[in-house]
Chain A
Amino acid sequence: MKYIRKILIYIILSAGGIFMLYPVLWLIGASFKSNSEIFSSVWFMPENFDFTPYINGWKTSGTYTMGHYFLNTFKIVIPRVIFSVISSTVTAYGFAMYDFPFKKIIFGCLMCMLFIPQTVMLLPSYIMWDFFGVLDTYIPLILPSLFANEGMFVFMLVQFFKSVPREIGEASRIDGCGAFKRLLFIYVPCIKPAVISVAVFVFLWTMNEFIQPLMYISSVEKYPLTLALRMSSDSTGQGYEYNKIIAMSVIGLIPSVSVFALAQKYFIQDITAGGLK
């Protein structure tokens, strides 16, 4: 009886798992298929592996190769990951470790930011960046991350900082360690998994970000990957070169998948363990 129940659970989970992963498998398979095969078979394995979609996809139909768009994306993603991690950690440290005037109000503002729809902010922000004359640059996409603009991460890191035993900090303070030094050499190593999770999340979100680049970046030369993909899926008019667009999409997923695979160890376990308390 117990066995049957176990097997049943495995069957349900596997069926669900197939439903979750099959579209991705199909996408990868379809990138090697001919255009007619894409719409004639349900099975994800292509009859034979044809790499021309990838070669054509990498070249794209426009002036620039995919490599160019990748570079653009990383010009946004890398500074943003670094800035977000630093600013969120410093802010969270302040909230978790110190008592100061207006603390409650400021923390309330942080929580508010979680609940305000981004749509309301988009237009005035656009007008503001226009006023500073930095439209069609990466500044509007990168600069806000210097100011701990992702309240979610600050909130998460505060919980983790609070879980570090206070004695550790006290000991280092008596040994003459300053506030910043203490943060960098004592506390951050203690909550390393959480900091890594923040970095990974910022990376993935920025890779996927769409509406902000769509608003701010107007010249094709500066397009990040997401806009380039959208442009090519538009310009072929969902028309004849399906496999090429699919191949480009698969290439576009590689950074996210690899980062997730590398950080997976920290990711799910730790969020499950410490996450929302």
Chain B
Amino acid sequence: MKKIYNNPVGESKYTGLIFVMPFVTGFILFGIYPFAMSFILSFTDSGINSSAEFIGIENFRRLLNDSDFHKAVAVTLKYILMLVPLKLIVSLGTALLLNMNIKGMGFFRTVYYIPSILGSNIAIVIMWSFLFTSGGLVNQVLEKLGIMPVSWYGESTPAMFMIVLLRVWEFGSTMIIFLSALNDIPRELYDSARVDGAGKIRTFFSITLPMLRNVIFFNLVMQSITAFQEFNAPFMITGGNPMKGTYTVSMLIYDEAFRYYDTGYANAVSWVLFTMTALFVAVLFRITRKLRSDDI
């Protein structure tokens, strides 16, 4: 059967194709090509000497015994587990507060959104590293409050927490997505709940949360993907220290490629990172299947 294209009268079925051509070209050049190339290179020793030799699964075998890589995976997973839940809770909580119909909300929205605008700027990352030095603002405040100052750079968990805090601080864009979803919940649902005598907490769990489940899932997936690739903050603030306690997989890839010029191995690591991300997302899809509605 011939497919019928639903276009305005007199338009060719190829008009649309012409419009999306920039994307298609770009997708082949900067999407498929590097993606496939990376896969091929991961089976070579490219980079060490100028000509790349095919070495089979040697790079992947090396991965299995590379303790730096194991550590980096553990660090990255720990980072994700610390960051993502915290960031989602903070964003959702703030979005709920900002969704109330009170004067001056526009102002507060802007205030809470500003850090996410500046957040990934190197200037802010440098500032963050100053805030947490041994005599920096954070320790001064802790001291004023009578709490023992923390050696943020000395141990791996505080060092990682410092980076997590930076990323939580820039929760603005996640919050905006929650806010727009909250806006879309029909008022009638709340009205009828009130008529039925449901309290605030009951309403939250029976209406707000279920209506938000797709957006929560979307944010969860997007934040996890970003967290898997964290590079800037540990690179700038801690340099992966102390004792590689904040040395993420992306930093390992960067070092292998641009410090040791071992592109073959670096590509193998990036493919493992990609597979891990995909698996992680697939698992998320699976365990939340019952909780989500079907249209995502």
Cα A117 to Cα B123 in complex, Å, equals 25
Per a CB cutoff under 8 Å, which of B100, B115, B122, B137 touches A9? B100
Q: Which of A26, A100, A207 contacts B16 (CB 8 A)?
A: A100
B67, CB-defined interface residue at 8 Å: no
- Name 30 A/B residue pairs within 8 A (Cβ), A-sorted: A9-B97, A9-B100, A13-B98, A23-B131, A24-B127, A39-B136, A42-B141, A87-B22, A90-B22, A91-B23, A93-B19, A95-B19, A97-B16, A99-B16, A100-B16, A116-B35, A119-B250, A119-B253, A120-B270, A121-B30, A123-B263, A147-B22, A149-B30, A154-B23, A179-B11, A245-B126, A246-B126, A253-B121, A256-B117, A274-B180
Q: List chain B residues, Cβ under 8 A from A100.
A: 5, 7, 13-17, 20
CB-based nearest A residue for B31: A113
Q: Compute how far the CA of A146 lies from the CA of B24 in the bound complex, rounded to whole angstroms.
A: 11
Q: Secondary structure at chain B's binding surface: helix, strand, loop or mixed?
A: helix
Residue contact B30 to A144, C-beta cutoff 8 Å? yes
- Tell me if B26 is interfacial: C-beta within 8 Å of chain A: yes
Q: Mark B100-129, 1 if CB is under 8 A from A, else 0.
A: 101010101111111101111111101111
> For the complex, what is the distance from the CA of A142 to the CA of B83, rounded to whole Å?
32
Give a binary string over A9-29; 1 marks a CB under 8 Å from any B CB, 0 the rest: 110110011001101101100
Number of interface residues of B (CB under 8 A): 98
Q: How far is the CA of A173 from the CA of B27 in the complex (A)?
A: 31
> Is B258 in contact with chain A by the CB < 8 A criterion?
yes
How many Å lie between the Cα of A27 and that of B140 in the bound state? 15
CB < 8 Å neighbour of B122 from A21, A119, A122, A208: A208
**B interface residues (Cβ-Cβ under 8 A, vs A):** 3, 5-8, 11, 13-20, 22-27, 29-31, 33-35, 37-38, 41, 46, 94, 97-98, 100, 102, 104, 106, 108-115, 117-124, 126-131, 133, 135-137, 140-141, 144, 169, 176-177, 179-181, 183-184, 215, 218, 221, 225, 228-229, 231-232, 236, 249-250, 253-254, 257-258, 263, 266-267, 270-271, 273-274, 277, 281
Measured CB to CB, the residues of A under 8 A from B are 6, 9-10, 12-13, 16-17, 20-21, 23-24, 26-27, 30, 38-42, 87, 90-91, 93-95, 97-103, 106, 109-110, 112-113, 115-128, 144, 146-149, 154, 169-170, 173, 179, 204-205, 207-208, 210-211, 215, 225-226, 229-230, 233, 238, 242, 245-246, 248-250, 252-253, 256-257, 260, 264, 268-269, 271-277
For the complex, what is the distance from the CA of A225 to the CA of B121, rounded to whole Å?
10
Q: Are A20 and B111 in contact (CB under 8 A)?
A: yes
Judge whether B112 and A99 touch: CB under 8 Å. no
